[in-house]
A = this chain, B = another copy of it.
Amino acid sequence: MSDFGQFCPIALASEVLAQKWMLLVIRELNAGATRFNDIRRGVPRISPTLLKQRLTQLEAAGILFTRSLQGSRGVEYVLTESGLELKSVLGAVGQWGQRWARDISADDLDPGWLVWAMHRRLDQSLMPDDPVTLALEFVDGPAKQRFFWLVCSNKAVEVCVKPPGFETDLWIKTRVITLAEVWRGIRPIQPEIAAGRIDMRGSSDLQRQFPTWLMYSLFAGVERPPRSSLPLA
């Protein structure tokens, strides 16, 4: 994917950006990930080989640079000014995707990805000072992706796939599609709770507060227009 034979800026940009997985890797970096395996968690289906290749291409294109870490092995991947400015591309693509992309199917509904996306969009300023442990159960999730825990302190939110050892303060039980569509801003959360499709158990204070922490997808506020029927047909 390197030669379009024209010097249009869209063509030149496409050489780098219009490759498989590339925008998703850039999305992770712009969301704050700097470590190899953190990026992988946001792009679970990319192979490590290919991820490394994409990161190398991004470095060659001047979109990121690497910085070695003291203490830990490996490097940090840090966006340059050029990479940070890709936020405008991510915004335009995401906004268009929210409005016009195809409907989602069962194969898109990765519960692990949803949890990973959510954990970055919990408003820590609203959380109590004491750490809170949330348990998520996806009743229709595959065996290995059925339970997740979110350990929220006012410093950070961590995702666990095994019980973290702390007492769980709030249990949330739902189907993947339910939480996914709430996350996408397609359904409001309150009716889902009221109808029991999002089933919460635990401290009633937390039950009331939790929905306010959740900031949803960055594009949740973008309205999805009705699919117009075939034009002129």
Q: Which A residues form the contact surface with B (CB < 8 A)?
A: 1, 3-24, 27, 43-45, 61-63, 65, 67, 78, 80-82, 85-86, 88-102, 104, 107-110, 113, 117, 180, 184, 217, 219, 225, 227-228, 230-233
Contact = CB atoms under 8 A, between A and B. Distances in A.
Contact of A88 (B1, B17, B95, B180): B95
Contacts of A86: 96
A10 B17 CA distance: 12
A30 B176 CA distance: 38
A197 to B, nearest CB: 18
A27 B13 contact: no
A196 B4 CA distance: 31
Given A5-B44, A8-B217, A85-B99, 16 more contacts: A3-B45, A3-B107, A4-B108, A5-B113, A7-B104, A8-B27, A9-B94, A11-B24, A12-B101, A17-B18, A17-B93, A61-B102, A67-B232, A88-B95, A89-B89, A89-B92
B23 A18 contact: yes
A23 B15 CA distance: 11
A15 B103 CA distance: 12
A230 B91 CA distance: 27
Nearest to A116: B6
Nearest to A82: B100
A232 B89 CA distance: 26
A96 to B, nearest CB: 6
A8 to B, nearest CB: 7
8 contacts: A1-B20, A6-B24, A8-B117, A9-B93, A15-B101, A18-B18, A65-B232, A65-B233
Given A17-B93, A93-B14, A93-B89, A5 B104 contact: no
A10 B90 contact: yes
Contacts of A93: 9-10, 13-14, 17, 89, 92
A231 to B, nearest CB: 5
A55 to B, nearest CB: 16
